[in-house]
Chain A
Amino acid sequence: MGKGLKSPWLLHYDGSSCNGCDIEVLACLTPVYDAERLGVINTGDPLQADILVITGGVNAQNEATVKQLYEQMADPKVVVAIGVCACTGGVFKECYNIKGGVDTTIPVDVYVPGCAARPQSIIDGILKGIEIYNQRAEALERELEGGIA
């Protein structure tokens, strides 16, 4: 991996998913995939998280919640949408209460398709997220230095 983020801490949020993707996200932490070897911790606390992992689409009720959680995370931060519902709304897209994918509410950086998304692809998505995180971290560093100078 080299330089860059070595301890991606996740905040896992379940929008209106069928729970299939959530099971797969949790499967990443089990001994078989052991995401912790990459330094991943599932924190459950937005104030400590770097990567927001969302499964399921956004509906009328949880829209404000998703926004608030995203807002509470400290910069730099990355959003990874897991599963087709999170990416586009999926099979629920036409439902009366569904707004669509996560990107209708907050900016999404990585889309991980699948129904449900496989653990391998989820880990892959998170690694992609780390790359984006690193770019943002550098940008932030420049900004802060610029602020001092």
Chain B
Amino acid sequence: MAIIPFLIIFPLVIAIIMYCTRINKIRNAIAYLSAVVIMVSVGVLVCQWISKGMETITLYYNTELVDHIILAAEIVLMGVVTYLSFKYKKAWVSLLSICPTALIAYYEIFGPETREVVGHIYIDYLSILMCIIVGIIGSLIVVYAVGYMHGYHHSAHHSNVTDRRYYFFALLFLFLGAMFGFVLSENLLWIDFFWEMTSICSFLLIGYTREEEAVNNSFRALWMNLLGGCALAIAIVYFGYTYENVDLHTLVAMGTIQSKCAVICVALIAFAALTKAAQLPFSTWLIGAMVAPTPSSALLHSATMVKAGIYVLLRLSPAMSGTMTGNMIAFVGGFTFLITSFMAIAQSDGKKVLAFSTISNLGLMVACAGVGTSETVWAAIFLMMFHAISKSLLFQDIGATENALGSRDVEDMHGLLYMLPKLAIFMFIGIAGMFLAPFGMLISKWAALKASVDVRNIVLVFFIIFGSATTSFYWTKWMGKIISHSHLNGAQVKDKTKKNEMISLTIHAILMIALCALFPLVSETFVNPLVNEMFGSSENVLSNQVLFTLIIIIVVVFAVPFLAYLSSKQQTQDLKLSYMNGVNTGDNRAFTDSLGNEKTLWLSNFYFHKIIGSRKLMMPSQIFTLAVIVVMMCRIIGGVFL
């Protein structure tokens, strides 16, 4: 299967080419071509894997040379971080990179020989799924970015930002390569390397504009992720010295039988995953990442980065099931789900709403992985799929809307359906995918709720119940804004969306609807086997009856509004003015005030930002979750040694 090294190395090579190509047109052409190549090669990988019977495959047993290259590359990464930390006078951050790299290097050079040689690459349902997400969504984001970055550097708004598109695209491809490496690796040392690579790529992407705020936010992202990297490195070295073995599945197997060392390692790695998945108390880096150009936000939120955290937790979930680590992760995830969905209510900046909702949804996935039963993992997988598509769609859409509208505030999207119809419909599909029946969140919430009752996790039940109520609030009010008849000037806004941006958006929307429509099929043929493979049980999460109900709901929810819309089109109705105490000036946009002057109407949603704004809630909840994590980690480690 030569396609695997190709998948990892190809984006890295393209990244170098991108960096060297300074002529925009040529670079854009290469970017398109490579995006297509990546998608095709993911397709080839999937086909090859299916033709081999969809079984787990391990590859590459002797890889001494590659090991050395990776070590060297890791040291280079460390050098980059150290240089930049000193350059921006944040020298302490470099410590977080030097220490783990030194630890890993020491282990590789002086550590024990691995006892049994296992494959370095591992292909199963989960890694295939991740490859599909990274490959398809990631490549589409690249396609989108070509058009977006052109508009970005030609708008007066960003005139002070130096045009370094070669650098930006190089980073995008580097990121994709790192993600492929990350999800396909079995060897923990490899995983660690790709982990650091994603951290540093995101750091560089966030700091792209080199403005003061961007630099500060990028360093925040860097130190939080490197902190997780430290925990990962410690876990790997500790595990390596104890078992003379550094592969993921041994670790999970040892964790599942509650072997002492593995329990600590699992806890440490799970902690690392919390930082990457931007859970409280580490959520602020993902919100700060909003300063970067939109394609990088889309990439961080949907296909890469945060999903890496979820991927690790899903891998570990059999080892976390019913343990104290599992409880910690479930608690932190559930708490994040609830609190950040409150914060999302208080936001009116579209991108911020998306950022908080990402963290919130990730919280639910983290909680599901932490509970670690077949039902919750099933739910988490579906959440991940829906979330990846929908978030990528929404971020790209907001970027395009901002280019046309000059604002990304939800309040300014009043009547978007009549101003920018195409973008509004895409946005509508994206949001519907996040929470409406019969789409992703619904069924996942159902499974998560059921499972957390089954394992008697009372606290998690509370979090899910209240969190799901608040989640629908902020999404519904946004959707309402889009479809409201305009009280703004009502004129059509010129849609500046480029063709390639449109292509990417359309494919996303089609994927979203297809995933909804084929939901039972995907569950049956892909997700059930995945869960069975992970937990070794053969029960179906969706009972036939629930499946049947779901199909009915899907049909009705799709068909009814559509048919009703068609039938209402034929009806003749007398159109009346909207009721404004009889002083409507005639177009539902203005009224006559008591002095006889015309006054324009302004309608706004509820936000409650003074009560549940992020400024008010963020700090206390960070302190609280930090305390929970510290106490629980002490109990876990103490519990092993006592």
Contacts and interface: CB of A to CB of B under 8 A. Distances in A.
A26 interface: no
Interface stretch (A2-10, A69-77, A114-122): A69-77
Contact of B582 (A66, A74, A75): A66
A45 interface: yes
B407 interface: no
Contacts of B596: 61
Contacts of A65: 581-583
A135 interface: no
Interface string A59-101: 0011011101101101100000000000000000000000000
Q: Classify the interface of chain A: helix, strand, loop or mixed.
A: helix
Interface residues of A, number: 15
Contacts of A66: 582
Interface residues of B, number: 10
Contacts of B581: 65
Contacts of A13: 582
Interface stretch (B173-181, B221-229, B384-392, B572-580): B572-580
A129 interface: no
B454 to A, nearest CB: 49
A125 interface: no
B584 interface: yes
Contacts, number: 29
B576 A47 contact: yes
Contacts of B574: 74-75
B584 to A, nearest CB: 6
Nearest to A147: B572
Contacts of A62: 582
A113 interface: no
A71 B577 contact: yes
B259 to A, nearest CB: 71
A57 interface: no
B579 A72 contact: yes
A46 interface: yes
A72 B583 contact: no
Contact of B577 (A45, A61, A72, A74): A72
B583 to A, nearest CB: 6
A45 B583 CA distance: 13
A62 B581 CA distance: 11
Of A45, A61, A68, A75, most buried by chain B (CB within 10 Å of CB) is A68
Contact of B579 (A46, A64, A75): A46
A46 B576 CA distance: 10
Interface string B351-390: 0000000000000000000000000000000000000000
Contacts of A47: 576, 579
Contacts of B592: 64
B576 A69 contact: no
Contact of B584 (A45, A68, A74): A68
A68 B582 CA distance: 5
Contacts of B579: 45-47, 72
A135 B536 CA distance: 76
Contacts of A69: 582
A13 B579 CA distance: 14
Interface string B574-608: 10110101111000000010001000000000000
Contacts of A64: 582-583, 592
Contacts of A75: 574
A72 B574 CA distance: 10
B125 to A, nearest CB: 56
B590 to A, nearest CB: 13
B576 A71 contact: yes
A99 B576 CA distance: 26
Contacts of B583: 64-65, 68
Contacts of A71: 576-577
A133 to B, nearest CB: 17
B587 to A, nearest CB: 13
B572 to A, nearest CB: 9
Interface in B518-575: 574
Of B576, B582, B596, most buried by chain A (CB within 10 Å of CB) is B582
A142 B577 CA distance: 26
A61 B595 CA distance: 10
Contacts of B576: 47, 71-72, 74
A18 B72 CA distance: 93
A65 B579 CA distance: 11
B231 to A, nearest CB: 62
A101 B596 CA distance: 23
Contacts of B584: 68
Contacts of A61: 596
A69 B580 CA distance: 9
Nearest to A65: B582
B582 to A, nearest CB: 4
A65 B583 CA distance: 6
A34 to B, nearest CB: 27
A66 B579 CA distance: 13
B588 to A, nearest CB: 12
A23 to B, nearest CB: 21
Of B574, B579, B583, B592, most buried by chain A (CB within 10 Å of CB) is B579
A69 B579 CA distance: 8
A68 B576 CA distance: 10
A62 B582 CA distance: 9
29 contacts: A13-B582, A45-B579, A46-B579, A46-B582, A47-B576, A47-B579, A61-B596, A62-B582, A64-B582, A64-B583, A64-B592, A65-B581, A65-B582, A65-B583, A66-B582, A68-B577, A68-B582, A68-B583, A68-B584, A69-B582, A71-B576, A71-B577, A72-B576, A72-B577, A72-B579, A72-B582, A74-B574, A74-B576, A75-B574
Given A13-B582, A71-B576, 12 more contacts: A46-B582, A47-B576, A47-B579, A64-B582, A64-B592, A66-B582, A68-B583, A68-B584, A69-B582, A72-B576, A74-B576, A75-B574
Interface of A: 13, 45-47, 61-62, 64-66, 68-69, 71-72, 74-75
User: Which 5 pairs show the lowest CB-CB distances between chains A and B?
Assistant: A65-B582, A69-B582, A68-B582, A72-B576, A47-B579
